[in-house]
Amino acid sequence: MSVTATEPVSKEAEQNWPAWFRDQQTSAWADYEGSPDPTRKDEPWRFSNIGAIGLAEFQPAESVTSEGRLINISQGLADVSAKLVFGNNALLHQDVERLPHGVLLKSLEAAAREDEELFRKFFMVQPIELGSHKYASLHQARLSTGAFLYVPKNVEVALPVEIFHWIEGENASIFPHTLVVCGENSKVTVIDHFKSADGKRAFACGVNDLHLEQGAQLNYVAIQEWTRESLAFHLNSTIVGRDASSTALNINFGGGFVRGESLSRLIGEGARSVMLSLNPMDGERQIDQRTLQDHAAPHASSDLLYLNSLDDASRTIFAGLIKVEPGAHKTDAYQKVRNLMLSDQAEANSMPGLEIQADDVRCTHGATSGEINEDELFYMQARGIRKSDGRRLIVNGFFRSLLERLESGSLRTYLGGMVSKKLGVSSA
């Protein structure tokens, strides 16, 4: 049965989730079925390859074949403070013993039962405004688990929290979810890994919501490594309160067609949001990213930098909007997308936008598309480096410049190593 066909609620869901949540799922399902499919004439889907979004052949995921194997290969950073491992919509493993007192890291269903007030206050409360409302409804209707992290007031979690989301099985579907709530003046780093267990084509429809209360600091990194045939939605919202600061980095190493939506809403004075994305594109892979920097409060700043390298017949869409609402004076907003074109077949579409309704602001945006600087390449060749190696080195350097934005040195090293590996450059 297709993942988009109506199915009865499983016994498992009956037991795991409270009834009020299952009611919400029922209405989400109705909303999914009642919403029209997007068309290219819809502004949020301009330039998009809507033909690539066929869900009919995807199936609900079965249980994974070997939990132990997946738990074993869920290795990221050397030092972490906690780890959760999910596989095919089920929690396989949790290691949360070393977390500071009061920090909650658990499955969403456990949070819905045990921390109902918190859960209800933060779970999918942001309207999906960047086009994928229908798929967010599908996500909510089909959700069976996910990660819930709550860091209480004044608590700093020194080492990163790592979360792994595995998918296994031909045409399997998963609905990963990460909900992070940072209390006042708290600080935490979260790394979400999205990985394929068997290299098969699959469908992922994920939501990650980040909430930062006054003075909180959050570093969030999503590393997406789906297979190059897979279809994926990753819908993100970040709500930043007064004097809070968020840095979110989305890395897309995989996926055949990936739709990413990232919304940052700055709701308190002095709030700051840094939105980064790093996308080495190749083959016939396509990525369609839509972003919104919504300045609802004065004296807030946002800074977006998206980098794409486009090899082979890959294709990218970036549509970003800086929106400064009336009264959000002293806004400082920046937005930039850079496309490094590596092939004659590649295509980059950029739509950087501004909507400004306050006057005492500084807003700039830019978009560039260009090829590798021939002089740089020649310089490398003159030092005896092969042209193809030189190109890879330059692309690697292009992405490294973005990683410099990250605060943590160990995270920079780790991610830099992954980028080098992806590009076939020795990371020494």
Q: Which residue ranges make up the site for another protein (CB under 8 A)? A: 41-43, 46-47, 326, 329, 339, 341-372
- Cα torsion for 192, 198, 202, 207, to the nearest 10°? -10
Min separation Cβ 134 and another protein, Å: 18
What's the CA gap between 233 and 89, in Å, rounded? Answer: 15
State the DSSP code for 68.
H
**216 near 244, Cβ under 8 Å?**
yes
Backbone angles phi, psi at 5, to 5 degrees: -90, 150
Q: Is residue 72 exposed (0-12), middle (13-18) or buried (19+ Cβ within 10 Å)?
A: exposed
Cβ pair 353, 384 in contact under 8 A = no
- When the beta carbons of 161 and 341 are compared against another protein, the nearer one is 341
Residue 45 DSSP symbol: G
* Nearest CB to another protein, comparing residues 45 and 150: 45
CB of 16 to another protein, least distance (A): 42
Closer residue to another protein, CB minimum distance, 55 or 358: 358
First-last CA distance in the chain:
48
Helices (H), 89-177: 108-114, 116-122, 133-142
Minimum CB separation of residue 341 from another protein in Å reads: 4
Which residue(s) pair with 381 in the sheet?
A: none
Nearer to another protein, 83 or 391 (CB): 391
Work out how close the CB of 386 gets to another protein at its nearest, in angstroms, rounded to a whole number.
Answer: 19
| Residue 281 beta carbon to another protein: minimum distance, rounded to whole angstroms | 13
Closer to another protein at the Cβ: 132 or 339?
339
Q: Which is nearer to another protein, 168 or 311 (CB)?
A: 311
Rg (CA), the chain: 21
Q: What are the backbone angles phi and psi of residue 141, rounded to the nearest 5°?
A: -65, -35
CA distance 354 to 323: 6
* The one-letter amino acid at 126: Q
291 bridge partner residues = 262, 320
Between 6 and 39, whose beta carbon lies closer to another protein?
A: 39
Least gap, CB of 305 to another protein (angstroms)? 14
Cβ closer to another protein: 46 or 69? 46
DSSP assignment of 319-348 equals EEEEEE-TT-TT-EEEEEEEEEE-STT-EE
| Residue whose CB is less far from another protein, 97 or 344 | 344
Residue 132 to residue 320: CA distance in whole angstroms: 15
What's the rounded Cα separation, in Å, for the pair 185 and 13? 36
By C-beta, is 283 or 366 nearer to another protein? 366
Minimum distance between the CB of residue 380 and another protein, rounded to whole angstroms?
A: 17
Stretch (H or E) spanning 148: strand 147-151
Minimum distance between the CB of residue 46 and another protein, rounded to whole angstroms?
7
Q: How far is the CB of 327 from another protein (least distance, A)?
A: 8
Least CB distance from residue 401 to another protein, whole Å?
18
